[in-house]
Amino acid sequence: LLVEKGSGHVDLLAPHVEDTRWYLVRNVALILGEIGDDAAVSSLRSAIVHRDPRVRKEGARAVSQCAGSNARGLLAHALHDPDAGIRRWAARTFAADTPAAAQAIRNIIESEGFEERDLEEKIDFWEAYAYAARDRASSLLIRLLEEKKLWRPKHPEPVRAALCQALGIAGGPDARRTLERLRNDRSRAIRAAAENALEKLTQ
């Protein structure tokens, strides 16, 4: 009922985004997202930076349902959220948006400290970048995959296997050549990851 009545009257709901009760702000953000009006985006700015991660997550989800460049800008802000779960969700969601998403995600992958993040988060960002940039993502992913330390692979097997999977998403001739070569890697895990990625690439 509130979605139906609030459509076209976002100004009536906007003041409640500033309420002190986190659950009320979360619910208002949910309603604004269901309305999906570009006029709701400015009202969601405070929800995106709310102290409670449950509000920030609902605010980001609501923004993703709104159209327009302002909405994309706010969604990009969620890529830097203090909460890893929200960052991962934002990367997966933002990847399906515009070419601007590819550069924003790449900037984070190349930022200082990204390498220290949990593997699960790094996988989400690598795959999000592959989806957003497609074969243009291959050069960065291959560089990370082939990094050496004392003539040996810099990254452990789980990291290299995850990068293989991201290459399978990115596709392109460079990705295929790299994965074909990794079919003969000394590591059984990397050989299997390369095979799986090539199968995904073919599909």
Q: How far apart are CA 176 and CA 126, in angstroms?
A: 17
Residues 6+ apart with CB under 8 A from 154: 147, 148
Instruction: Say which residue, 203 or 34, is predicted with more confidence.
Output: 34
Asked if residues 105 and 142 have their Cβ atoms less than 8 Å apart, the reply is no
Q: What is the mean pLDDT of residues 195-201?
A: 93
Residue 99 — very low, low, confident or very high, per pLDDT cuts 50/70/90? low
Average pLDDT in the chain: 90
Question: Between the CA of residue 72 and those of 18, 69, 97, 166, what are the distances in Å?
Answer: 22, 5, 8, 24
Stretch among 33-42, 71-80, 134-143, 153-162 having the lowest mean pLDDT? 33-42
pLDDT value for 165: 96
Question: What is the average pLDDT across 148-173?
Answer: 94
Does residue 67 or residue 13 have the better pLDDT? Answer: 13
| pLDDT score recorded for residue 70 | 76
Q: Under DSSP, is residue 197 helix (H, G, I), strand (E, B) or coil?
A: helix
User: With 90 as the cut, is the pLDDT of residue 189 above it?
Assistant: yes
Q: Which residue did the predictor score with more confidence, 72 or 149?
A: 149
pLDDT higher than threshold 90 for residue 176:
yes
Residue bearing tokens 């994309």? 72
Please tell me the distance from the alpha carbon of residue 203 to that of residue 44, in angstroms, as a whole number. 39
Strands 148-149 and 152-153: antiparallel
Averaged over 87-99, what is the pLDDT?
84
Predicted pLDDT at 66: 82
How far from 186 is each of 64, 90, 161, 175, 182, CA to CA, in Å?
Answer: 43, 36, 13, 19, 9
Return the pLDDT at 200. 87
